[in-house]
Amino acid sequence: MPCKIGFVSTRFSGTDGVSLESAKWAQVLWDHQHVSYWYAGKLDRDPAVSVLVPEAYFYDRDNVWINEHAFGTRRRTPEMTRKIYQIADYLKGTLYDFVDAFGIDVLVVENALCLPMHVPLGVALTHFIAETEIPTIAHHHDFYWERARFSVNAVNDFLRMAFPPTSESIQHVTINSFAQNNLSWRGGVSSVLVPNVLDFENPPSEEALAQTNLRERLGLSPDDVVLLQPTRVVPRKGIEHSIALVSQLRDPRCKLVVSHESGDEGLDYQRALIELAEQSGVDLRFVHAPTADSGATRISDTPTTDLAEAYAAADLITYPSLYEGFGNALLEAFYYRKPVLVNRYSIFVSDIEPKGFKVVAMDGFLTRGVLEHVRRVISDEAYRREMVDYNYELGKAFFSYAVLRRKLRSLITNFTGLDDL
């Protein structure tokens, strides 16, 4: 029996992980006649099936004020307490309107009940779920205890209540085993592990990828070797390691391209990377693959591209992140059949590496062995082809839509009693 699914978050817009994964969930659900509707503070979904509530956006003026006074201190004022409850009560009313307008059967809350970017929305959802007992899937991408910025706060009572809440009508979903274990340990809450996925059953069109002209627009020659870092320009992405890699390869053909902007964290890190590249003699280029925040900062006059074109132009993917909630760019490298250098961040070690993927692995620093492995990947076409084809098949087995379909079938069946996915 088809269900009406209501997706709720602060934002469904652009190419952030929450927006991308929720769209994949909606696609798989739609394939089986479940219709999705959307509620958020920022939206790029069809207005006919959406409710836009600007006050639910984490950059809403009142919420920005709350965040400025909630974190980095341990004491809050009566004014802030009143404001949190006032906004939460208003948002709860809009949730009632959303559910009534579309006849929602099941809520899917995306990251709004685990990461306190919008405390009033988390409170509103917690109260709404308690009052209605509506079947809810809480899809958790990041938890507040994973982020240092939330460790000192004046809203610990709200965090314990709503991030996440406990209710008989909520099924919790985590995206990695560390989060699953920590949620159980901290809150006594069980969860279902649903990894991020890509549509490995439908590979990218080789004809379309062959038509990219990004290399030409960057002024690169056919002999140049493009090392692509497909991440935002923020410190936890470890881009300095990619600069060091290119510097130590000592191959003038090697160029480093970074495909995303600096998000909301400013340009200081990007400027430091430019200086480091100049001092190291590294040819560093930035291109702009638009992400969710229209206000994101970036250095002007960088070419605009999309992810498919960026991957098509690459010879090797660098992914030296220090921390990732999962690692979508790693899956993208497997999907676009590109070899990848990866720093062995914790979720890679626990959830991805054991599957047997063939990568160039580093443990926080570059070694002679890592450099030699990179040189072999660049120069040995047969070795490179065997590596990427093997990874693609593993991706299909462990991180495909088929995996998501099985997981969603179980979650929906728990509510409906019908195996209709």
For the chain, the average pLDDT equals 91
What CA–CA distance (Å, rounded) separates 265 from 325? 18
pLDDT at position 207 is 73
Mean pLDDT of 375-384: 97
Residue 14 has pLDDT above 50, yes or no: yes
Shortest CA distance to 141 belongs to which of 181, 190, 185, 175? 175
| Lookup: tokens for 62 | 């009142």
Distances in whole angstroms, Cα of residue 106 to Cα of each of 16, 99, 132, 406? 23, 9, 11, 18
pLDDT at 302: 57
**C-alpha–C-alpha distance, residues 266 and 234, integer Å:** 9
Residue 164: cis peptide before it, omega within 30 degrees of 0: yes
Most confident listed range (31-45, 261-275, 297-311) = 31-45
Q: Pull the structure tokens for residue 212.
A: 């990219």
Give the model's confidence band at 267: pLDDT under 50 very low, under 70 low, under 90 confident, else very high: confident
The domains spanning 4-197+401-416 and 206-398 adopt the same CATH topology: yes
Residue 421, pLDDT score:
55
pLDDT digits (tens, 9 = 90+) for 269-290: 999 999 999 999 999 999 876 5
Q: What mean pLDDT is predicted for residues 189-204?
A: 94
The closest of 141, 160, 106 to 10, measured between CA atoms, is: 141
Whole-model pTM? 0.87
Do the strands 340-343 and 254-258 form a parallel or antiparallel pair, or are they unpaired? unpaired
Q: Which two tokens stand for residue 103?
A: 């006849």
pLDDT in tens, 41-60: 999 999 999 999 999 999 99
Fold for domain 4-197+401-416?
Rossmann fold (3.40.50)
Residue boundaries of the structural domains of the chain:
4-197+401-416, 206-398
CATH superfamily of the 206-398 domain:
Glycogen Phosphorylase B; (3.40.50.2000)
Question: Does pLDDT of 212 surpass 80?
Answer: no
Token pair belonging to 380:
């040995």
Q: What is the DSSP string of 352-410?
A: IGGGT---EEESSS--HHHHHHHHHHHH-HHHHHHHHHHHHHHHHHHSSHHHHHHHHHH
| pLDDT over threshold 90, residue 361 | yes
pLDDT tier, 303 (very low <50, low <70, confident <90, very high otherwise): low
